[in-house]
Amino acid sequence: MNLDWSADELAFQAEVRQFLTEKLPPDVARAGRLMTSVYADHDKGMEWQHILHEKGWAAPGWRPEHGGCDWTTAQHYLFSRERVAAGAPPLSPWASTWWPMSSWNSARRRRRTSSCRAS
């Protein structure tokens, strides 16, 4: 098993670092570092969400057809790692959980609907 990052993954990590260096305002980073709960200061969190939206990274967990990033698992990990290292607030919980929830709910709905049709 090779646990080294690929060239594409290292390039993505460099892109994330550059983005954070250039776009993360110091006051937003401070709000992220001062968090005592799962949420940052609302206004700073929303400011950060708008910055991510401009880049197209506001909802990386969503399906691409709904505005998501189509990132690999490694890219999600690298983004999270770099975000934390820079002190940026976390993403909205809905931005990171919608995709798995929608996949699970879709499969569940299909099972429920098909079982209803059979009766």
- The pLDDT of residue 82 is 97
Which residue, among 4, 39, 24, has the nearest Cα to 85 in the 3D structure? 24
User: Distance between CA 32 and CA 86 in Å, rounded?
Assistant: 9
Contact by Cβ (8 Å): 102, 65: no
Q: Does residue 37 surpass a pLDDT of 90?
A: no
- Please report which confidence band the pLDDT of residue 48 belongs to, taking 50, 70 and 90 as the band edges: very high
Average of pLDDT values for 47-76? 90
Q: How many CB atoms lie within 10 A of CB 90?
A: 17
Q: What ranges do the domains of the chain cover?
A: 23-118
- Mean pLDDT, residues 92-98 taken together: 57
Return the DSSP state at 76.
H
Whether the model clears a pTM of 0.85, i.e. scores above it, the answer is no
